[in-house]
Amino acid sequence: MTAEDRNVLGKSPYTLQNIESAIVHLEQVFSEDGADWLFSRTYWHQRVLQALATPGLVPVQAERLQRLLDSIP
């Protein structure tokens, strides 16, 4: 995630209490190709960036989110 991405998105809507379920949801959507069915790539890109902006992510969570981000064409 670039500094520009952080500035554009601002504060994350996620907390440490709900970020894991958000990551799992994103992983499920991406694994089922659902990311292209209902919403644009821009939408999914922003969702992942918002999750990445969550303060207090542990490294493994950040890595999982970065993998999702990298998988968006």
pLDDT in tens, 47-66: 999 999 999 999 999 999 99
Quote the mean pLDDT of the chain: 83
Average pLDDT rounded to a whole number, residues 33-46? 75
Q: Give 38's DSSP letter.
A: S
Distance CA 47, CA 43 (A): 6
Number of domains in the chain: 1
Q: What is the pLDDT of residue 31?
A: 85
Distance CA 35, CA 55 (A): 25
Q: Which domain holds residue 67?
A: 3-71
Burial (0-12, 13-18, 19+ Cβ within 10 Å), 65: buried
Distance CA 29, CA 10 (A): 24
Q: What is the pLDDT of residue 52?
A: 93
pTM of the model: 0.79
Q: What is the pLDDT of residue 40?
A: 81
Distance CA 2, CA 8 (A): 10
